Structure 1
Amino acid sequence: MSKLIYLDNAATTKTAPEVLDAMLPYFSEYYGNPSSIYDFAQKSKEAVTKGRQQIADALNTRKEDIYFTAGGSEADNWALKATFEAYKSKGNHIITTKIEHHAILHTCEYLEKERGAKITYLDVDENGVVRLDELEKAITPETILISVMFANNEIGTIQPIKEIGRIAKEHGILFHTDAVQAFGQVPIDVDEYNIDMLSSSGHKINGPKGIGFLYIRKGVKIKSFVHGGAQERKRRAGTENVPGIVGYGAAAERAVRTMKERTAKEIELRDYLINRLTTEIPYSRLNGDKVRRLPNNVNVSFQFIEGESMLLMLDQNGICGSSGSACTSGSLDPSHVLLAIGVPHEVAHGSLRLTLSDETTKEDLDFTVDKLKEIVQYLRSMSPLYEDFIKKHQQ
Structure 2
Amino acid sequence: MDTGSIAWGLTATALVLFMTPGVAFFYGGLVKAKSVISMMMMSFGALGLISVLWILYGFNMSAVGSPTQFAGNPFSDFGLGQLAMGETGSIDLLGATYGATFAIITVALISGAVADRAKFGSWMIFAGVWATLVYFPVAAWVWGGGWIMKLGETLSLPGVIDYAGGTAVHINAGAAALALALVLGKRVGFQKGITKPHNVPLVLIGASILWFGWFGFNAGAEWLNGLANVGIIVVNTLGATAAAILAWMLVEKFKDGKATSVGAASGAVAGLVAITPACANLEPGWALLLGAVAGAVCALAIELKFKLGFDDSLDVVGIHLVGGIIGTLYLGFFAIGTGLFTGGDLGQFAVQAIAAFSVLVYSFVIAYLLGLAIEKTIGFRIKNEDELAGIDTSVHGEEGYALERV
Q: Say which structure is richer in helix.
A: 2
Greater strand percent: which structure? 1
Shared fold (TM-score, shorter chain, > 0.5) = no
* TM-score of the aligned structures, taking structure 1 as reference length: 0.28
Structure number with bigger Rg: 1
Return the TM-score normalized by structure 2.
Answer: 0.28
